[in-house]
Amino acid sequence: MTTMKKLVSAIMLFAVMLLPVAGGVQAADRYKPFVLASKGPGDFATRVQETKDSLSSAGFEIIGEYMPYENVHVDKADVIIVTNDELKKVARMTDRGGFAAPWRIAVTQTGGEIQVSYVNPVYMANAYQLKSELAEVAASLKQALGEVETFGSRKGLTARKLRKYHYTFGMEYFDDVYKLASYDTHKQAVETVQKNLQAGVSGVTEVYRLDLSDDVTVFGVARKAGEGGDEHMDDAWIMNNVDFTELKGTAYLPYEIMVDGGEVIALNMRFRMAVHFPDLKMMGQNSFMNIMPSPKAIESAFKAVAGGS
């Protein structure tokens, strides 16, 4: 065989090897952090009530609701927090799974339309390393509220990427939590957090409380700096910097503080913000650089709430 024939044969063999094979490995599915349930004109208060009614009819328990801001980067925003038996069951199956037991649904009025959106169950189930991708929860939310599209990342992330997610070198993973305080008993830890939230310590107040077991309690919290406070921990200030696309990520809120046994912890903002807004640039306009002081400001505020040093 001549050299030319050998070369042609080698090229043809290589091309054949690249062809897809039936039953072979397929490209991995990619997921995005938020689901747009609906958008369009309407009355804001009516849409909020309709959303709550639909969630209740679908078997979700509404455990909290708040308006994080108004006339900031959107006209109005309302966040509804729910749970159900499936969420609580799956949450109990993994360490720190309690962060996924409360589910966040947002109604946002902006640019003459109302958007109803929620956190994507399959996306967050993988990001929070759960033992289930919450297919039943996803189906229930879709049936109750609808599903137009997923959004929040141009390309999306694979389940494999999400289960070991961190934004870049030096940034935190899911397990790199804020360790806020430690107590001898769960009861003592919960009572301290509850008391300080009621007092609005460091501008942090309670949106909901969810008791998952005798040893795990999750608090959803609102953050408002107030006069003389640190704006870098404030819900409105942070979201005004990062939530700049047409479809709004309001369902990022509220933040969670979890009491696990006697330990008080929260997800590190450098993980939590990044996994909800994975396309944010490191530098430039509307980037992580703009909110650089926020992770430390949030940690300090949460430590004050937890009674930590």
Residue 308: predicted pLDDT: 87
Is the predicted pLDDT of residue 8 greater than 50, yes or no?
no
pLDDT in tens, 118-131: 999 999 999 999 99
What share of the chain in percent tops pLDDT 70?
A: 92
d(CA 115, CA 220): 22
Residue 2: predicted pLDDT: 56
Q: Does residue 302 contact residue 294 with C-beta atoms inside 8 Å?
A: no
Residue 40: predicted pLDDT: 97
The amino acid that residue 58 corresponds to is A
The number of residues in the chain equals: 309
The whole-model pTM stands at 0.91
What's the whole-number mean pLDDT along residues 50-55? 98
What's the whole-number mean pLDDT along residues 25-29? 73
Question: What residue ranges do the domains of the chain occupy?
Answer: 30-306
pLDDT in tens, 185-233: 999 999 999 999 999 999 999 999 999 999 999 999 999 998 889 999 9
Query: Whose structure tokens read 């919450």?
Result: 134
Which residues are registered as beta bridge partners of 259?
A: 217, 264
d(CA 306, CA 264): 7
Listed ranges 12-16, 145-149, 168-172; the one with the highest mean pLDDT: 145-149
**CA 103 to chain centroid:** 9
5 confidence band (pLDDT: 50, 70, 90): low
Is the predicted pLDDT of residue 54 greater than 60, yes or no?
yes
CB burial of residue 274 (10 Å; 0-12, 13-18, 19+): buried
Which residues are registered as beta bridge partners of 226?
A: none
Report the topology of domain 30-306: TATA-Binding Protein (3.30.310)
What's the whole-number mean pLDDT along residues 65-85? 97
Is the predicted pLDDT of residue 15 greater than 90, yes or no?
no
3 confidence band (pLDDT: 50, 70, 90): low
